[in-house]
Each structure stands twice: as structure tokens, then as C-alpha cells.
Structure 1
Amino acid sequence: MDVAVQESLLDFGDDPLPSALRPERAPLSRGAWIDVQRGWLSGSAALFARLAADVPWRAERRRMYDRTVDVPRLLCFYGEDAALPDPALDACRDALNAHYAAELGEEFVTAGLCFYRDGRDSVAWHGDRIGRGAAEDTMVAIVSLGEARPLLLRPAPPASAADGPGVRYSLGHGDLIVMGGSCQRTWEHAVPKSARPTGPRISIQFRPRGVR
């Protein structure tokens, strides 16, 4: 797939490599938290171009209420026994496991890739609650490549004033966000559509076994 993305200073470099992990943690309500590290993956533009061209992206349709609709993004999932499509993703997963495995109690083993082609592509409010994420604390680590897009988070219903307001992060160009604690059970996240001209973005979601 031939796409163009506007680079930032953080994208420069031919060999995408994760830097040392020094994320900033923000506590949320109900035992949830968020870690963020800007520009964690240097040289991310080169990786974006390779993934856009080489990953076997697929369009999906899903049943929503009384009709079947197109999923507004392209997808590709790599299970725990599947080879990742680029060595840079192996390096990212290895670094994440070295940093988080003790706190998580296990390793990240799968990678789900999403391709947001423009502002019309999005993901609705949800938590990663298929499998163990519905009942257990876990972590989901997301590396964002390409144009920055907002990632919104809000307390899952029923919310109360004690939960506080939702939060918003603009993520792209090698940024890392890790959602941990009870985040998948007690909070929801979304990437909204945009009416403004918006360049393409790829997100890579690293998850433990049995979490989707």
C-alpha cells in the first residue's frame, strides 16, 4: 500500500529502534493507570513505510445490532506463535517485556495492527475485554506510527463524579502508551473520526495471552 505520511523530527533515522523505557505514569480511577513515553521508537517513519507496504492488511465487516457494517480501519493480527512482520516489532516487544514482565506477571505475546488510512477511519469506545481482560487486571501497550491521532479515554459506565473527567492523548511518530491495572475493565478508549484532513496512522497493540 503506497501512502505518504508527514514526518516529524522524531521520525528521522533508517533503523527504527526503541529507546530506554522511562514512561510517565498517570493514575486514573478504580485502579487503572496510563504510562506514556513520547517518541519512544526513533526512526518510526521507515517502519511505517515497511508495514504499510508489506503487512497483509484486510478489511473486515462486523454485525452491529441489526446490520452488518464495514470496520472503519484495516487490520492484521499476529498470534503468539506467529512471526512478527518486522524486526523492529520484535525489538519493541522485547523491550516492553524486559520493563513490564515483572509487574504484569507474564509477557506480551501477541500483536494486533490497525491501519487508519485517513480521518474517516476510527475505533469506537471499547475496552479490550475479550478473554481475560474482562475479569483480570492486564496491560495493553500501543506504539503509534505516522500521523498523530487523538486517543480518548473515559470511565466505563456506570461512571461517577469520583472518577473524574476523561483524558485525551495525541499519539503518533513513535509514541508509546501502556494501559494498565484495571484500565480495560473500568475505562474505555476510542480513536474518533476527524473531519479535518488527516494523514495515515498505524497502531501496534502488544497484549498478553488471552487478551483481545
Structure 2
Amino acid sequence: MTVEFQTSLFDSPDDLDCPDGTGGPDAALGPLGGTVTRHVLTRGAWVDVRPGWVSGSDELFARLVTDVPWHAERRVMWDNEVAVPRLLKFYAEDEPLPDPLLVEARHALDRHYAAELGERFRSAGMCFYRDGRDSVAWHGDTIGRSSTEDTMVAILSLGEARRLSLRPRTGGESISFPVGHGDLLVMGGSCQRTWEHAVLKTARPVGPRISIQFRPYGVR
């Protein structure tokens, strides 16, 4: 599979990184620590954001486009079978991840959130949003333990930025974070139970985005 997308200005080659102008810088993780900003929500929920966690992220995006065995799914909704508006791939705990940088990212998340989470991130779900028509509706990741327990879902976004929106389950104003080009967003505390999140359709021209969701065991 090949796609065209608008690269980030921060990932573009320059004279130092690419003297011959043949490609962008290698993808690499930055630090976490004090670079992460926490946004406290209501009812014990919070969201951490680390912009540009992966530098040279467009290179990683391009690798995943071709290396991940993306597939389309159909699901039953309101007695109708409909196409899921994005491509998918789920990597279970015992399934090797498709790129060594994702393994490194999972280890870094394990270290950073060890004291708070108390366990490791295990699985990695992936979504490929091909354009603005691809989306995910309002939901919480409440299959498994997250329906009754606090947990974390760490999302690494590659490709063009899309807005990840959140709203309280009981009603109220929504908030949103534009994430793409190597940004990290982590939903924690009661977020999956007390808030919902979505990537909504948009009519404006947008390029493709890949979302990698790292989750602990028993959370889906």
C-alpha cells in the first residue's frame, strides 16, 4: 500500500540532517519526564499530551503504511452491517510489533508510567485513517477491566494531525487535541469509564493518519 500525505515541517529534511536532500531524519523517540503536560478532567479522569514525541515520525509512518497488514472490517450496527470507516490491525500481547521503534516506545511508556499504572502496556491496536471520511465514533475503551477499573490507553499519532475529541459521559462541553506527526496522548484514571472520545469525520481536506493505541492486559 502506498499513500500520499503532507509531511510535517518539523520532520522535513534540512542541510544538517540530510546534506544530500535525499530523505528526512531517522525516526527517534524523545524524552518523556518533564515534557509531558497533564490535563485534569472531571471525576478522576486525566489526559497527558507530549507533542512531537517521535522526531522524524514521517519515516515511521511510511514504514507502517507498507509493513502493517491492514484490513477492513464490517460490523453490525442497528440491525445493519456497515463498513468500519478506517483500516485496522490488532497486535496481541504475544504478537511481535511491526517496527522496533514501537517496541522502544512501549518500553519507554512502561518506564514512565510504572509507578502510576502498576503494570506494563501489553497490546497495540492500530487504526489507519485514510482521509477525512474515516473516523471513530464516540466511545470508551470499556471492553474488559476498564469497565470497572482505572487504567491507561496511550496513543501515538503519525501522519497528518486529526482532532481527538473527548466529552463527559454525563453530558457537558467537549474538548479536543490535534494529534499527529509523532504526538503522544495518554488517557488515564477513570477516563474510559467517565468520558468518551472520538475522531470525527471532517469535510476539510486532510491527509492520512495512523493511530497506535498501547493498552494494558485485559483492556480493549
When the two structures are superposed, what TM-score results if normalisation uses the length of structure 2? 0.92
Deviations along 1:156-176, one digit per CA (max 9) or x if unpaired, are 1x33xxxx6221111100000
Q: 1:170 aligns with which of 175, 178, 182?
A: 178
Q: What does residue 42 of structure 1 align with? A: 55
**Residue 37 of structure 1: how far off its partner (Å):** 0.7
Q: SS where residue 81 of structure 1 aligns?
A: coil
What SS class does the counterpart of residue 121 from structure 2 fall into? coil
Q: Which amino acid aligns with 1:182?
A: S
Question: Following TM superposition, by how much is the alpha carbon of 1:4 offset from its aligned partner in structure 2, in angstroms?
Answer: 1.4
- Measured on the aligned residues, the alpha-carbon RMSD in Å equals 1.0
Q: 4+ residue runs of structure 1 moved beyond 3 angstroms?
A: none
Q: What secondary structure, in the 3-state scheme, does the structure 2 residue paired with 1:109 have?
A: strand
* Alignment-derived partner of residue 11 in structure 1: 11
From 127, 139, 150, the counterpart of 1:137: 150
Residue equivalent to 1:20: 31
Q: TM-score, normalised by structure 1?
A: 0.95
Question: Shift in Å at residue 10 of structure 1?
Answer: 2.8
Amino acid at match of 1:19: G
Deviation at 1:190, TM superposition (A): 0.2
Give the drift of 1:14: 3.5
Report how far residue 16 of structure 1 moved: 1.5
**In 1, distance between residues paired with 2:68 and 2:4?**
16
**Matched residues in 1 for 2:26 and 2:218: separation?**
31
Match 1:194 to one of 179, 202, 218: 202
Give the number of equivalent residue pairs: 207
> Counterpart in 2 of 1:105?
118
CA positional deviation for 1:205: 0.3
The one of the two structures with greater contact order (alpha-carbon pairs below 8 A, sep at least 6) is 1
Query: Which structure 1 residue ranges, 5 or more long, are not aligned?
Result: none
Superposition map of 1:153-164 within 5 A: 153-156=166-169, 158-159=170-171
CA drift of 1:102 comes to: 1.5
Kindly state the Cα deviation for residue 68 of structure 1 after the two structures are TM-superposed: 0.6
Partner of 1:128: 141
Deviations 1:148-203 (A, max 9, x none): 001100001x33xxxx6221111100000000000000000000001111100000
Q: Distance in 1 between matches of 2:88 and 2:112?
A: 27
Q: Structure 2 CA distance, aligned partners of 1:45 and 1:173?
A: 7
Name the SS for the 1:184 alignment partner.
helix
Separation (CA, whole Å) in 1 of partners of 2:131 and 2:76: 23
**CA–CA distance in structure 1, aligned partners of residues 122 and 198 of structure 2:** 23
Q: Tell me the CA shift for residue 131 of structure 1.
A: 0.4
Which amino acid is 1:15 matched to? Answer: D
Measured in 2, the distance between the counterparts of 1:211 and 1:14 equals 34
Structure 2 matches for 1:44-63, cutoff 5 A?
44-63=57-76
Tell me which structure has the larger Cα radius of gyration: 2
- How far 1:118 sits from its partner (Å)? 0.4
- Please report how far the alpha carbon of residue 110 of structure 1 lies from its aligned counterpart in structure 2 after TM superposition: 0.6
